[in-house]
Structure 1
């Protein structure tokens, strides 16, 4: 794995962990997705226009089709994950989704993008995915709503795997600039969720009044985290990028222990080291 690709994914992991902590603190629904997506559209508009002017990207039917498909996949992921958090157990939905995603991403990359997985890469990916499950608590026997949690977790993981492979093809083969791809996804979320947002203005006002800084942080870091990943995908195989992204889970869980008072710091530090060992093995492959 190229060092530059690893550094991009590492920076993306930090951004991803940061905005996830903010989302957890706010505990919103589709109206929150609409709000931070709208702010993202406003904040990133100058950069998007600059890329259009300076790079003059080609947007034929294939590029338009795959860009629209990416927006739909990402919206589905956000909605499914938040529904899973409301109807299932967080301790099941999140680790299942994050462990399933890279596994499917790598599988799709091998099946459809012609990438090759070495034994070392497979072992490293298995260590990372297994470490993520153990770090996040795994499948706890005492957890409630197990079927719902499992279903939503697998569904969200399937969407993670799908949009990662889909977007990799879009930026690497169709040459859609990564920032424009993510920007179009934000625009798509705003348009598709506008009817819902119109009916829930009170919730939007509440989020903006009480959580303004957190909402702005999400609006900046949510696109930035994935834009960095997309740039890495332009020159780094999906089979490397997808498992390495799981460093964000380490940061998110540790932030929960240290910043949100969730405890279990010793247990989580041990499994964090296991995941970092797997990531190191992957990077050296």
Structure 2
């Protein structure tokens, strides 16, 4: 992975952690998530007007991604209802790079250097150490663990689908614009179906943070999709999970969650994993 691509993915990692932090603020998580995805869809509309639709061959990948994303949003917000961000986020993000690497190498036959695979393993080990450090109520709750594990599987799924879909489309920008515009609809429709129009009032009250979260969400994943067309999918997926470091910083400084020694040690292990991948 070239230095410019690596730097772009790190920026995407920060934006991803930032919008996840917004899910824990002000509103119930599912309402905030619906607001963020809808905002990202609105922001992406002008881009779609410029890029045009991706070719028809990419549409099945878009549909698969939208369905996987809907499941991801629901599972992640359920996990956030039962545990701290500092615990849920590492679990949800940590095992996804390993799953993505295994499928990419075994099924797609995309070459990945041994040192890069070692770096991915080190990074995931650090994330696991951070995830299972003690937090609220003495540790991750079973419900939060289950939802976070489902989230990880869905992350791996939509990462692979979007990496392949953008390559099939021949334009990461056309694919991304279409994905965000359409993806802004299903979760909002789900929330309105479950909660009715009463859900709109609190969402309108949080419109400012919602727009900011939508911008961060769009920027983060748009960069990732583009990066997967110019660099190996496993390396992009793993580097993006450095967002765990940014999430920990946000959790401690903004959400006032405790920084425990085990999490600090885990951060150093994650940095070592990132360095190993970068040196390949």
* TM norm structure 1: 0.87
Q: 1:143 maps to what in 2?
A: 139
Q: After the TM superposition, which residues 228-247 of structure 1 pair with which residues of structure 2 at under 5 Å, given as runs?
A: 228-247=223-242
Q: 1:40 maps to what in 2?
A: 40
Displacement of 1:208 in angstroms is 2.4
Between 188-197 and 214-223, report the one with greater CA deviation. Answer: 188-197
Task: Give the Cα–Cα distance (whole angstroms) in 1 for the partners of residues 139 and 24 of structure 2.
Answer: 19
Q: 1:128 maps to what in 2?
A: 123
Task: Give the Cα–Cα distance (whole angstroms) in 2 for the partners of residues 89 and 279 of structure 1.
Answer: 24
Counterpart contact for 2:24–2:85, Cα < 8 Å: no
Q: 1:183 to 1:220 in 2, by over 3 A?
A: farther
Task: Give the Cα–Cα distance (whole angstroms) in 2 for the partners of residues 92 and 267 of structure 1.
Answer: 12
Q: 1:252 to 1:19 in 2, by over 3 A?
A: same
Displacement of 1:47 in angstroms is 1.3
Task: Give the Cα–Cα distance (whole angstroms) in 2 for the partners of residues 144 and 9 of structure 1.
Answer: 29
Q: 1:272 maps to what in 2?
A: 267
Displacement of 1:179 in angstroms is 5.2
Q: After the TM superposition, which residues 7-18 of structure 1 pair with which residues of structure 2 at under 5 Å, given as runs?
A: 7-18=7-18
The SS at the match of 2:96 is: helix
Q: 1:128 to 1:105 in 2, by over 3 A?
A: same
Between 25-34 and 220-229, report the one with greater CA deviation. Answer: 25-34
Q: 1:153 to 1:32 in 2, by over 3 A?
A: same
Q: 1:98 to 1:201 in 2, by over 3 A?
A: same
Are 1:105 and 2:100 counterparts?
A: yes
Q: 2:211 aligns with which of 210, 216, 224?
A: 216
Q: 2:72 maps to what in 1?
A: 77
* TM norm structure 2: 0.88
Q: 1:200 to 1:33 in 2, by over 3 A?
A: farther
Task: Give the Cα–Cα distance (whole angstroms) in 1 for the partners of residues 201 and 119 of structure 2.
Answer: 45
> RMSD of aligned C-alpha atoms?
2.5
Counterpart contact for 1:171–1:177, Cα < 8 Å: yes
Q: 1:202 maps to what in 2?
A: 198
Task: Give the Cα–Cα distance (whole angstroms) in 1 for the partners of residues 181 and 33 of structure 2.
Answer: 9
Q: 1:120 to 1:65 in 2, by over 3 A?
A: same
The SS at the match of 1:16 is: helix
Q: 1:45 to 1:135 in 2, by over 3 A?
A: same
Displacement of 1:266 in angstroms is 5.6
Displacement of 1:72 in angstroms is 0.7
Are 1:4 and 2:14 counterparts?
A: no
Q: 1:7 to 1:238 in 2, by over 3 A?
A: same
Task: Give the Cα–Cα distance (whole angstroms) in 2 for the partners of residues 101 and 144 of structure 1.
Answer: 18
